[in-house]
A and B are shown apart, each in its own frame.
Chain A
Amino acid sequence: MAQIELRHICKTFTVSLRPEGRMSMLRGAFVRRKKVIKALDDISFTIDTGELVGYIGPNGAGKSTTVKIMSGILTPDSGYCRIMNRIPWQERVAHVARIGVVFGQRTQLWWDLPVQDSFDLLKDIYSIPFTSYKHRLHELATALDISALLTTPVRQLSLGQRMRCELAAALLHSPRILFLDEPTIGIDAVSKLALREILKRENRENGVTMILTTHDMDDVETLCSRVMVIGHGRLLYDGKLHRLKADYAPWRSIRAILTEPVTPFHIEGAERIKAEGNVWTVLFNPDIIPAHIMVERLARALPLRDLVIGEQNIDEIIAKMYQEMCL
């Protein structure tokens, strides 16, 4: 049976609008028009134990709303949701004891106190037995390289250090499901890599299910085998990442660095050519023309110095996808 199951979840919000025209500010103080926004419109999916799912979509698409419903903070207007055999918002306390949440833009540590104090408090909140707490803390502190930070007040940590501590805080009670809302937002490459590494490890060794909402496509690419794309409150795509790529980005790209600038001309098999100074970016479809032949043709036609073959940038894919779906 699926660990997480959502069926036909809907959620609307009302926002009040200020009337238009003259004196609108004054009139707005007395009369307001209400507008109903569909944050989630008939969302259904299931996730099995140990899956690592990337949940992506533009701002305001409904990602956070879904996460909030799954973590029991928000009650949907209609629909059915069952997570580990519980309805999150009905048995909130029992439910949240077994999940962990990381919100990248919000802190769950006590700002003015040493990190260790926050951890000790979490130990009491989640009723973690002393010995397993010590063991777990040691394990996480080593993996995330935060042992030296434990006595530092949170306010003095850099963002990257703080995020590593946040993640440790979310994992202390060994949750079965982890919701990550933009965990890598604004942090440096080293911290990002450490974060991804521990997420992968938790998933592999303890079978923790993870749902990751992010705008960082590198996160998705390194961590998630399955992606769900949401836009305007609807689920637009749910499946393997490589299939998403195959559907929306069938092309490969070659970055050719030339010894001198050459004005673009057509090369047989190239779908699109873009030239910037002495760098050409050539897109081609590997199903029609194999890569080595494309390279050979380029080498024959151009004064090549260097050459890089890659997939289309996933950011571009998502952007294109949003565009096609009129988001």
Chain B
Amino acid sequence: MRLTRRANMTKVRAYFSLFRIKTAEGIQYRLAGLASASVGVFWALIEIVVFTVFYNYAANKDAGTLAGLTLKQVISYVWLSQAIWTMQPMSIDAEILKKINSGDVGLELCRPMDLYAHWFAGTAASRLIPVFWRGTVTLLCAILMPVPYRLGLPASAIGFCWSLLSFFCAFLLCTAFGTFVATVRLNVNWGDGPMYMMMLIGGVLSGGYLPLQLWPAALQTILLLQPFAGYLDIPIRLYLGTMQPNDAGSLILLQLIWIALFVAAGKALMAKRLKTIIVQGG
């Protein structure tokens, strides 16, 4: 019993090392990170201007507030969503995709590791790297902005704690979905198109383009239950206080359920593929 536990611990360490080495590799590229951050800041400013116009001059300018989101909250929403926007998987991890295409998946299989966990660790790193630079710089700008544009404080301390936990779950969810898409790509020779569509749908339904609360009222329940709300909408709602800390438990549970489903689906797809895998080339 103790032996197996120790064996598991060393395995976990291997995956963690993998995650660490890839992260170290990725965050070397400061300039790319800063470029992405400047896009984030620029984009956030545009969105803020557009929202300000709508909230002040639109025909039904109270619609947003009626939907439960004030202008001040929308501005905070925009900053937070821009900070973690690139955490969303918008492409399959470049290294994994290269390995699928070139047949180097085979080399990966020459390691005494579970390939799914291996990919999960790699995808996790590639989800974290873009946030590392873009996230910190965008948040820094958000705090230093003049008041009307500034990121607001969290609604409550307890809500803030829940939102931090939820942000972490969002990171796991993005990783789980990213890995899932990679396993689909491993199974099906559709090319990259359908994968990008899957991931784009995720981006739209995450609320990154338009906060989910501002979508039609009839869709609200579905929008909250669908997996991609967990990307950024749920943690941001907990931050803003548009979701109460009482509901935080069930919301995070919802995120966890989707994580579990994507992990299970990814593992199943990978196992199916590995049974009949044909390594390209050579």
Contact = CB atoms under 8 A, between A and B. Distances in A.
A295 B21 CA distance: 64
A112 interface: yes
Given A68-B279, A68-B282, A124-B13, A117 B21 contact: yes
B10 A101 contact: no
Nearest to B26: A112
Interface string A85-114: 000000011101101010100101010110
Interface string A115-136: 0011011001111000000000
A106 to B, nearest CB: 6
Contacts of A125: 14, 17-18, 111-113
Nearest to A113: B25
B49 interface: no
A73 B106 CA distance: 6
Contacts of B110: 71-73, 96, 99, 101, 108
Contact of A103 (B24, B107, B109): B107
Given A93-B113, A126-B112, A117 B24 contact: yes
A124 B10 contact: yes
Interface string A58-70: 0000001100100
B278 interface: yes
A13 interface: yes
B281 to A, nearest CB: 8
B104 A74 contact: no
Nearest to B21: A121
Nearest to B118: A125
B197 interface: no
A280 B262 CA distance: 72
Contacts of A113: 21, 24-25
A97 B112 contact: yes
Interface residues of B, number: 29
B279 A73 contact: yes
B17 to A, nearest CB: 4
Contact of B277 (A75, A97, A101): A75
Contact of B278 (A74, A94, A126): A74
A219 interface: no
B116 to A, nearest CB: 12
Contacts of B109: 71-73, 92, 96
B25 A110 contact: yes
A70 to B, nearest CB: 11
Given A64-B282, A112-B28, A94 B112 contact: yes
Contacts of A118: 21
Contacts of A112: 25, 28
A108 B107 contact: yes
B5 interface: no
A181 B276 CA distance: 22
Nearest to B114: A93
A101 B107 CA distance: 8
A113 B22 CA distance: 9
A48 B277 CA distance: 29
Interface of B: 7, 10-11, 13-14, 16-18, 21-22, 24-25, 28, 102, 104, 106-107, 109-114, 275-279, 282
Interface of A: 13, 64-65, 68, 71-75, 92-94, 96-97, 99, 101, 103, 106, 108, 110, 112-113, 117-118, 120-121, 124-127, 181
The 4 tightest CB contacts between A and B, nearest first, are A97-B112, A64-B282, A124-B17, A124-B14
29 contacts: A68-B279, A68-B282, A72-B109, A73-B109, A73-B110, A73-B277, A74-B106, A74-B279, A75-B277, A93-B113, A93-B114, A96-B110, A96-B111, A103-B107, A103-B282, A106-B102, A106-B107, A110-B21, A117-B21, A121-B14, A121-B18, A124-B18, A125-B14, A125-B18, A125-B112, A125-B113, A126-B112, A127-B7, A127-B10
